[in-house]
């Protein structure tokens, strides 16, 4: 994937909100085709957490795929992940390790990586729209030559990194007086590398306005 040469400002980020991930078993009706009895039993993305991407720091996360075949598991031959609604994606499959659990079952972990500078070159839409619910496809192979092309083996959320800062005034505040809280919510802007989108938040008493 081609990296952009446009300059970017390095910023520290934290993920906003709780971590949520959905895991789909192969028996949930996901599309699959292939030969023989090799199967994807389950898949877990990033240990069950959301994947959050900022504007500068490279992001790497695992997809652990449990595979079963009566001859034993040879490994993964392809892994891809992309947004469910618009089919765009920017993570590269950069490596795989397989751990044998039994004679018939192995857990193969694919490593996925993105440098935020790559993101604008990965689609032809507003790159910020690629955040949201993503899915995973994989092709698995057994020792006896059986293979399976499995779609939608897991779902998870990809989020733009965000940061919230707040301040209260006046300080000190008298008992019974109105306290005004101002803040700024910034989110990574993938469309213009190294920039953020910002919303100003003002709260006075029970009134809240977003400007």
Whether the predicted pLDDT of 35 surpasses 60: yes
Residue with the larger pLDDT of the pair 30 and 137: 137
What pLDDT is stored for residue 204 in this prediction?
A: 55
Q: Provide the 10 A C-beta neighbour count for residue 115.
A: 17
Whether the predicted pLDDT of 193 surpasses 90: no
What pLDDT is stored for residue 165 in this prediction?
A: 78
Residues 149 and 184 in one domain: no
Question: Contact at 8 Å (CB) between 59 and 49?
Answer: no
pLDDT cut 70: percent of the chain above it: 77
Q: What is the CATH number of the domain that holds 34?
A: 2.60.40
Residues 106 and 169 in one domain: no
Residues 127 and 146 in one domain: yes
Structural domain including 175 reads 162-210
The reply to whether 1 falls in a domain is no
Of 38-47, 60-69, 200-209, minimum mean pLDDT range: 200-209
pLDDT cut 90: percent of the chain above it: 62
At which residue do the structure tokens 């689609």 appear?
Answer: 123
């Amino acid at each position: 994937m081609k990296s952009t040469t446009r300059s970017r400002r390095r910023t520290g980020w934290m993920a906003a909100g709780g971590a949520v991930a959905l895991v789909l078993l192969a028996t949930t009706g996901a599309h699959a085709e292939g030969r023989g009895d090799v199967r994807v039993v389950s898949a877990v993305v990033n240990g069950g957490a959301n994947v959050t991407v900022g504007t500068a720091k490279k992001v790497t996360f695992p997809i652990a795929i449990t595979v079963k075949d009566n001859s034993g598991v040879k490994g993964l031959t392809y892994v891809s992940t992309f947004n469910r609604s618009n089919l765009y994606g920017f993570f590269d499959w950069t490596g795989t390790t397989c751990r044998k659990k039994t004679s018939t079952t192995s857990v193969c972990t694919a490593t996925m990586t993105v440098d935020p500078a790559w993101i604008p070159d990965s689609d032809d839409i507003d790159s910020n729209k690629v955040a949201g619910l993503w899915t995973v496809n994989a092709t698995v192979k057994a020792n006896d030559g059986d293979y399976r092309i499995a779609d939608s083996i897991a779902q998870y959320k990809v989020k733009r990194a965000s940061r919230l800062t707040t301040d209260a005034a006046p300080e000190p505040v008298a008992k019974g007086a109105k306290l005004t809280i101002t803040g700024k919510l910034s989110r990574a802007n993938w469309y213009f590398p190294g920039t953020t989108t910002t919303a100003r938040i003002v709260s006075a008493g029970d009134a809240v306005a977003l400007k």
